[in-house]
Amino acid sequence: MIDEAQDALEQMHRKLRENFAGKIVRKDLTKKIKEGANVPVYVLEYLLGMYCSSQDESEIEEGVENVKKILADNFVRPDEAQKILSLLRQRGSHTVIDKITVSLNIKKDSYEAEFSNLGLKGVPISEEYPTQYDRLLCGGIWCIVQLDYEYIEEDKNSETPIKIRKLDPIQMPHVDIEELKAGRRAFTKDEWIDLLLRSIGMEPSVLEYRVKWLLLARMLPLVENNFNLCELGPRSTGKSHLYKEISPNSILVSGGQTTVANLFYNMGRKTVGLVGLWDCVTFDEVAGIHFKDNDGVQIMKDYMASGSFARGKEEKAASASMVFVGNINQSVDVLLKTSSLFDPFPPEMGTDTAFLDRIHCYIPGWEIPKFRPEHFTNDYGFITDYLAEFIRELRKEQYGDALDKYFHLGKNLNQRDTIAVRKMVGGFIKLVYPDGEYTKEQLEEILKLSLEMRRRVKEQLKKLGGMEFYDVNFSYIDNETFEEKYVSVPEQGGGKLIPEGICNPGQVYTVSHGKSGMIGVFRLESQMLPGNGKFERTGLGNDRDAKEASNTAFNFLKANGKRISGSISTTTKDYIMNYQDLQGIGMTSRLALPTLIALCSIALNKPAIGSMAILGEISISGTIIKADELANVLQVCLDSGAKKVLLPITSASDIGTVPAELVGSFNLVFYQSAEDAVFKALGVE
């Protein structure tokens, strides 16, 4: 087995050298040097890619020493700028590593270079460099530059005696996207995913398949314009690592304190903020996000929806993606039962459904393992800079309509949901199939994941905003077979609470308000033994209201049992009833009718109709009481998997408040009295 894995790795290395020579690096070498040199990862890896791309260990050792020496001799530290300039003057020439930005001086019709760490401005540079490496003109790149120092007494007009003899970019000066697409064809899907993960420093062989996709989802904001992503999960799962270390095109706003001027537009200086300068703006620790301006969240909402914002007299557009990462302090189960998954957000965001609706994707951070040393790779991956650049290049391509060829989306997705899903599908295709070659099955896999990531947002919105967001049953339809497939969210366990098919006699399900005020599903199970008419209850604890309701049911049965069936005995049999609160929201007090139906079901040894939820209640005299908040209760019935709903006739007047699609999802059965409810629940006409 080990040999096979070894062979596969060897094969992978061969393919990498054939297709991406000079653009790959062994990630353990990066770790080795990075700890001692405070130079950007992408600069370091470029040098390692140049000197250490061999297989021979001794050559690699030599290469690493070379890189260390180059960094020690030539890397400019800002505090040593004057020392280096003095050295340059003494020697007459010197080589430096620095970040160079070139601008065109229109008055002189010539190009001038600016050195970031060295602090030089206005150094003349030959026209060939900005023409050849256009990134020098757009924000600058790291270069190795050979400088000459030549002071001529007569030539006093010359602004600087420093000349640029030769310039070599250390970052990728430009990326040939066609080369990448051609290289992608040499790898299988799984190999390519592993290669991407190794490029960001992860070791895929110790990760589960689903986790790999979740880690890829973190890269979506880097390949998609105006993509809003949220990831909340436990500590040390590497949520902010990608945005801070890997990509030179994203910025991490730590601490969360920010202003509208800093983020969007400074009206005093007339300069655009972070969203105009970076591809991706990440807010670390969402709990601390705080705008010093009152309108910060409003402008952010506007920007997240449309990719533009209005400040002063004009409207500005930008393409930066927004990422929100933070920690969840409780377990997911607790959060789902007590509040929502957006709980860590500050209140002005975490309860604002309009803000949360603009989030396209929610990565379940609790599914990603806490990183240990074995999770970080020592194998070959792309140079970080190459990865960042081709990812940036892919932002220009669009694959949002890719799903239309094979599928179309179900009717529960509104416009925002559709945009979110299309962006995700497009983003995943760019990452995994940049050559645009994929099968229907591969597209379906991406589509399922995208629908799930968006549904997670919608499920929480439904919790916070109620009926406005009732349509969470996301599905997609195959264009050939017209088969509709539904996608659920794993942590909700949707559709499993009320099982399909016929249950055992004595088992029924009811849906009503629990003690906490939330609506949930409750299961009742009963047993009958020979005895003398005792009635025992378990699962109610010391809940007085619930106990009274179950007593009401037993007393009603004693008084009216013969009207239901002559074979029901409340004197020669003992009954045991167990109550279960399936969602942990506190026991309901509306238990008289479901208890009566469960008792009759076990007494007659007749199971209730399958996939049925019981709504409504009866009093001691048998008066029927209608269900509260019918629309919300029916929504919970749908989410829990109910197909039939038993309703009191008094609730018929409320049907008009329920969306038509929701009513159409069930077979509604109305009852006129307690006895009628029992007959209909057990399917006796």
Q: How far apart are CA 253 and CA 251, in angstroms?
A: 6
Tokens matching residue 229: 């992503």
- Residue 318 in contact with residue 395, Cβ under 8 Å? no
Specify whether the CB–CB gap between 510 and 606 falls below 8 A. Answer: no
CB 42 within 8 A of CB 248: yes
pLDDT of residue 494: 47
Give the sign of the dihedral formed by CA 410, CA 657, CA 518, CA 595.
Answer: negative
Cα–Cα distance for residue pair 646/677, rounded to 1 Å: 8
DSSP character at residue 319 = -
Strand order in the sheet with 484-486: 407-409, 475-478, 484-486
Please report the sign of the dihedral spanned by the C-alpha atoms of residue 54, residue 58, residue 62, residue 68.
positive
Record the tokens describing residue 587, joined without a space: 């026991």
Blockwise average pLDDT, block size 10, the chain, 685 residues: 76 83 79 68 76 75 83 81 89 88 89 89 88 77 86 68 86 75 89 90 90 93 92 85 77 75 77 80 81 78 85 82 86 70 80 88 90 86 83 84 87 89 93 89 92 89 73 85 83 65 87 84 90 89 90 90 84 90 83 93 90 91 88 84 90 87 87 91 81
Alpha-carbon distance of 586 to 460, in angstroms, equals 20
Per the listing, tokens 């378990």 go with 538
Closest CA to 394 of 349, 432, 346: 432
3-class DSSP assignment, residue 477: strand
Residue type, 77: R
pLDDT at 230: 93
d(Cα 126, Cα 107) in Å, to the nearest integer?
A: 16
**Residue 145 in contact with residue 84, Cβ under 8 Å?**
no
Residue 279 CA from chain centroid, whole number: 18
What integer pLDDT is reported at residue 601 of this predicted model? 92
Count of C-beta atoms within a 10 Å radius of residue 438? 18
Coil, strand, or helix at residue 314? Answer: strand
Closest to 77 (Cα-Cα) out of 110, 46, 109, 39: 39
